[in-house]
Amino acid sequence: MSRRGLERAPCPIARTTGLVGDAWTLLLLRNVSFGQRRFGALQRALGAPRASLSRRLARLVEEGLLERRRYQDRPPRYEYHLTDKGRAFFDVLAAMWRWGEDWLFGERSAEVALVDRRTGRPVRPIVVDEETRAPLALGDVRARFGRANA
Amino acid sequence: MSRRGLERAPCPIARTTGLVGDAWTLLLLRNVSFGQRRFGALQRALGAPRASLSRRLARLVEEGLLERRRYQDRPPRYEYHLTDKGRAFFDVLAAMWRWGEDWLFGERSAEVALVDRRTGRPVRPIVVDEETRAPLALGDVRARFGRANA
């Protein structure tokens, strides 16, 4: 299945994968989400080839997750800001954070904590059913073909 | 930053990205999570080259998300089952599902719904703060270096 195939898939996980199923793209979204907005800083932080980052940033702009704003005229320099769509993607990053912290650090906790911006209290994201607010377990759900609002 | 670099990163999002920041890996986890466990079926469903799938499945077994079980002897055939670690990863897939459904389908809802296995009620995953059960917004949190339980 090609990337373009994924974008037309009936399954939301497949479509999301077509857009962000790539390491640099996920790291770019992480860094921009935590306030690193300038191309040069992103490039230094991630150590990725410039062309790879440019291409991914352009795609994220095209898909409406990021907005490019000029912050300097000579030479022209740009920053990348999250749109509402890009900001909403933080849910996926938060779920990745939680899973990574639970399963990829052994006995020690991660060296970066997610904290409440005002109080400094550590925040632990979990995924729940919106209606019941109960944790969502794979065993409780299944995928059903057909539109929910058809 | 190399894949191996990501695996040792202090940030849980980076480590998770090092492991699953790849389209085929995410789709394999999705399909196994929804009950498609055999190599042949996975290969037909995803249309990925056999070698690409084998390599990714082997990595997921090595990293403890999947367990390989022989279900036929001659010729030997294997199925892949989720471990607890792999089952917990459903949170990330669920967050991707929700974001994809909210942002990648335009006016229509997705053609695959996530429903409660017993009642058939559509389930909408959201990411909340474990303590308060309030939706988690990017603007409310920041990343802080230093172990939470140091």
Q: Which residues of B touch A10 (CB under 8 A)?
A: 110-112
Q: Which residue has the tokens 């030997």?
A: B76
- CA proximity to B120, closest of A14, A150, A148: A148
Q: Which two tokens stand for residue A17?
A: 């994968």
Write down the mean pLDDT value for chain B.
Answer: 92
- Domain count for chain A, please give it: 2
Q: How many angstroms separate the Cα of A72 from the Cα of each of B50, B59, B79, B121?
A: 49, 45, 56, 52
User: Is A55 found in the same domain as A26?
Assistant: yes
User: Is B17 found in the same domain as B7?
Assistant: yes
- DSSP codes, A85-138: HHHHTHHHHHHHHHHHHHHSSTTSPPSEEEEETTT--B--EEEEETTT-PBP-G
pLDDT at residue A142 is higher than 80: yes
Residue to substitute from A103, A105, A115, A129, interface B, most B β-carbons within 10 A: A103
Angle, CA B34 vertex, CA A146 and CA B11 arms, to 5°:
115
Residue B43 maps to which CATH number? Answer: 1.10.10.10
Q: Give the tens place of pLDDT for each residue, B74-133.
A: 999 999 999 999 999 999 999 999 999 999 998 877 788 899 999 999 999 999 999 999
pLDDT at residue B148 is higher than 60: no
Q: Give the tens place of pLDDT for each residue, A38-70.
A: 999 999 999 999 999 999 999 999 999 999 999
- Alpha-carbon gap, residue A65 to A48, rounded angstroms: 20
| pLDDT value of residue B150 | 37
Local confidence band at B2 (pLDDT 50, 70, 90 cut-offs): low
Domain span at residue A111 reads 89-139
Identify the closest residue of chain B to A19 by CA–CA distance.
B23
Identify the closest residue of chain A to B87 by CA–CA distance.
A138
